[in-house]
């Protein structure tokens, strides 16, 4: 199994631009999670899906953030417009069940200048 695959690995963009992060979960994992990690706030849960349906998006910081999961093998996290304070590492993780150990992707390091 290739694990959780995220792209791009690095993204540098200018303030105001749209950013789209992509994730392919492990096949057979019904849960997909988007986390953001910063030095100040650690790992924060943004949103999670169960069987492609968004279950809890209370962690999404603002309306500028949106996430979709059109099918079991693909999810996107979009930031529009991006701001410098969005700079962080964004991780996608998947799991068989909601309380099973998670497998994380290698993350997308986002820098907004």
Partner 1 sequence: RKEVEQDPGPFNVPEGATVAFNCTYSNSASQSFFWYRQDCRKEPKLLMSVYSSGNEDGRFTAQLNRASQYISLLIRDSKLSDSATYLCAVNVGNDMRFGAGTRLTVKP
- Please report, as ranges, the residues that interact with partner 1 according to CB under 8 A: 33, 35, 42-43, 45, 48, 55-56, 91, 98-107
In the bound state with partner 1, the residue whose beta carbon lies nearer, of 56 and 83, is 56
Minimum distance, C-beta of residue 111 to partner 1, in the bound complex (Å)? 14
In the bound state with partner 1, the residue whose beta carbon lies nearer, of 74 and 104, is 104
In the bound state with partner 1, the residue whose beta carbon lies nearer, of 6 and 82, is 6
Distance CA 53, CA 42 (A): 26
**R_g over Cα of the chain:** 13
Minimum distance, C-beta of residue 6 to partner 1, in the bound complex (Å)? 9
Minimum distance, C-beta of residue 53 to partner 1, in the bound complex (Å)? 13
Minimum distance, C-beta of residue 10 to partner 1, in the bound complex (Å)? 11
Residue 61's CB: how many other CB atoms inside 10 A? 12
Distance CA 20, CA 73 (A): 16
Distance CA 16, CA 93 (A): 27
Helix, strand or coil for residue 51? coil
In the bound state with partner 1, the residue whose beta carbon lies nearer, of 57 and 66, is 57
The number of angstroms, rounded, from the C-alpha of 96 to the middle of its chain's C-alpha atoms is 17
């Amino acid at each position: 199994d290739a694990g959780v695959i995220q792209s791009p690995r690095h993204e540098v963009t200018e303030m105001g631009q749209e950013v789209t992060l992509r994730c392919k979960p492990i096949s057979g994992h019904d849960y997909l999670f988007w986390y953001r990690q910063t030095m100040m706030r650690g790992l924060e849960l943004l949103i999670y899906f169960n069987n492609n349906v968004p279950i809890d998006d209370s962690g999404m910081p603002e309306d500028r953030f949106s996430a979709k999961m059109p099918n079991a093998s693909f999810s996107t996290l979009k930031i529009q417009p991006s701001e410098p304070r969005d700079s962080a590492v964004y991780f996608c993780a998947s799991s068989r069940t909601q309380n099973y150990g998670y497998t994380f992707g290698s993350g997308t390091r986002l820098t907004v200048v």
